[in-house]
Amino acid sequence: MVTGYSTPEEWGSLEGKRVLVRVDFNCPVAEVDGQLEVTDDFRIRASLPLFRELQARGATVVAATHFGRPRGEVVEEFSVAPIRRRLDELCPGVQLLENLRFSPGEEANDPAFGASLVEGIDYYVNEAFSASHRAHASIMIPPTLVPSAAGPNLLREVTTLESILTNPARPFVAIVGGAKVKDKLGIVKVLVERADTVIVGGGMAYTFAAAEGRTIGSSLFDPDRLEECGRLLETGRVEIPSDALTLPSEASFGPASGDEVPEVVTENIPDGTQGLDIGPASAQRFAEIISGAATVLWNGPMGVFEDERLRAGTETVARAVAASPAVSVIGGGDSVAALQMFHLEDEVSFVSTGGGASLEFLEYGDLPGLRALREGRGA
């Protein structure tokens, strides 16, 4: 069990009190009839039980979020107005402050800006796990000034990720993919220590393949990480693809797709060719490993899944994760997008809302915003 966090239940009656809740309502929006509207209100709906509970106990709820990247300036297109409209339909009475990032003080972690957020506020709740890896003012300063607590969704993320790190049911299989090996090497290093098998796919797998002495054509490659990948392979717990779906180096790929049909290449990828998805033999082998797992952690696609020609590897892995009776935790970002693409998001145990935050938590075991909550004024 996660310890060290206060919860809002500890505050008792909130009659006449004002509670500031830091949320992540960074929702997708699109223009509908000439005005921006929220197109996916999942993040808003996830906060409603907390808002309603606080209101039922007599509190006035003030919510605060970042939205897009206005970089410290007031930019009309990043106004929270569409989010406010949707929130008002779902939970009347909750006030939503204007975009925190309209002030340069937010990202600069300015104490004066942080203090301004809690003027007239009695309590603070951090319900934004996905923003807690950033030492920004709205995350860091309120816990030093008013009694502060962890929100239920934040606590659920921390509990789930922590139990995977400290006490996973075994075998524990981790799957790491995505483009850049440098972004994910830290997490692979941690997982090699904790998991029984770490499957590596996506663009990052080719630096591992090169470390095995295989040729990789013009696939993604990071020479600075070659040695480290070699050391990780020596543990015997890292599984990399044996075959790849490839296109000629000059071929275009992506969501708009192209005409060329990808070719399967086993072992060595020749010059003039790039690997863009795991091949069918690798997909099959990975699915078998996943089917034997008791715990699965997945972060990052196996290939350029936005391109339908280069989607099969990610789809096979996603279906294997969904079909597995294992505790399955999906680490945010592109893996969640992939799950949604195949309508499998309800088939897994836990979908983390924080892409960067969940990776950082798994790598370092803590986040700046969580530390601030534990070390703050609590109840």
Active site residues: 43, 180, 333, 356
Angle between helices 152-166 and 355-364 (to 10 degrees): 40
Q: What is the DSSP letter of 193?
A: H
Binders of ligand AMP: how many residues, by CB under 6 A? 16
The torsion angle over the Cα atoms of residues 189, 357, 149 and 94, rounded to 10 degrees, is -170
CB of 251 or CB of 323, closer to ligand AMP: 251
CB of 332 or CB of 376, closer to ligand AMP: 332
Q: Which stretch binds ligand AMP (CB under 6 A): 47-55, 150-158, 172-180, 289-297?
A: 172-180
Residue type, 275: G
Pure H helices in the chain: 42-56, 81-90, 104-107, 111-117, 137-140, 142-145, 152-166, 181-194, 205-211, 226-234, 280-291, 312-323, 334-341, 355-364, 368-375
Residue nearest to ligand AMP (CB): 178
220-239 footprint of ligand AMP as x/- string (CB under 6 A): x-------------------
Q: Which stretch binds ligand AMP (CB under 6 A): 7-15, 49-57, 143-151, 303-311?
A: 303-311
Q: What part of residues 191-220 is at the interface with ligand AMP (CB under 6 A)?
A: 202-203, 220
Q: Which stretch binds ligand AMP (CB under 6 A): 49-57, 159-167, 260-268, 300-308?
A: 300-308
Cα 162–Cα 163–Cα 164 angle in degrees, nearest 5: 90
Residue among 127, 243, 315, 334 that touches ligand AMP (CB under 6 A): 334
State the Cα–Cα distance between residues 172 and 294, nearest whole angstrom. Answer: 6
Q: Which stretch binds ligand AMP (CB under 6 A): 94-102, 108-116, 179-187, 319-327?
A: 179-187
Q: How many CA atoms lie within 13 A of 379 on its CB side?
A: 12
How big is the chain by its Cα radius of gyration, in Å? Answer: 22
State the Cα–Cα distance between residues 26 and 47, nearest whole angstrom. Answer: 13
DSSP helix/strand/coil, 343 = coil
Binding to ligand AMP by residue 373, rule CB under 6 A?
no
Q: What part of residues 71-130 is at the interface with ligand AMP (CB under 6 A)?
A: none
CB of 110 or CB of 183, closer to ligand AMP: 183
CB of 82 or CB of 333, closer to ligand AMP: 333
Residue among 70, 178, 279, 332 that touches ligand AMP (CB under 6 A): 178
State the Cα–Cα distance between residues 306 and 334, nearest whole angstrom. Answer: 10
Residue among 145, 179, 289, 341 that touches ligand AMP (CB under 6 A): 179
Binding to ligand AMP by residue 147, rule CB under 6 A?
no
Q: What is the DSSP letter of 197?
A: E
State the Cα–Cα distance between residues 371 and 28, nearest whole angstrom. Answer: 29
CB of 219 or CB of 295, closer to ligand AMP: 219
Q: Which residues bind ligand AMP (CB under 6 A)?
A: 178-180, 183, 202-203, 220, 275-276, 300-301, 303-304, 306, 333-334
